[in-house]
Amino acid sequence: MRRTLGVASALLSIASIAVAADSKTDSVKRINEAATVFGEINSTPDKGIPQEILEKAQCVGIVPNLKRAGFIVGGKYGKGVIVCRASNGRGWTGPSTIRIEGGSVGLQIGAGETDLVFAVMNQRGVQKLLEDKFTVGGDAAAMAGPVGRTAEAQTDAMMHAEILSWSRSRGVFAGITLTGSTMRPDKEDNDAIYGKAVTHKDILQGQVPAPASAQPLFAALNKYMPTRPAKAAER
């Protein structure tokens, strides 16, 4: 009986290790996909995110292959990553895995996948982001972001928006709304990426060293979102 229990325990441990390894593999793949999406979107100046927004954004979230379905108003589900600027304005925090669920992604017909990018523009938005769960458009003010690296982004509404968002589907990149969407961290994936128990808040506040797997994402971000001067970061 003891031998049987011992074998069962060993098999359970092996299974747990295998699941953790698969989770880490998927999470690292997602980080790489996020880096690719961000680079591709901003590689075409007239179709990318305005430079002014890239310079002012406090955090950036990227959700590759967001699942969507519905007619006009639809549901969605996806996993992605989010990073924030380091507190000293130099570099980035490690990536935290997030889930986005519910709500609608602007006007849509039929089922499919879309790449989602959103920018958190101010400290009010960052504080909401650090919570275990929040609703876009409810807890945090949001609107569709403008398109084009030189697009005017100084409208009063955009200056007060906490989150600006965009989507890319079938090669078309456009500002979209995320009203009603909920965002929450994925603890299991984060633990797998960092190899230990970590919290979403600690990651995005720079309390956890970034993993080596984040380097491709940092490279993509730094290409289009240059490091801020020290004085600007202190304001």
| Claim: this prediction has a pTM higher than 0.85 | no
Q: How much is the pLDDT for 20?
A: 43
At residue 3 the predicted structure's pLDDT band, cuts being 50, 70 and 90, is low
Read off the pLDDT of residues 176-186 as tens digits, 9 standing for 90 and up. 888 778 889 99
Measure the N-to-C terminal CA separation of the chain; round to a whole number of Å. 67
Beta strands in the chain (DSSP E): 59-71, 73-84, 96-101, 112-120, 134-135, 142-144, 163-169, 172-175, 182-185
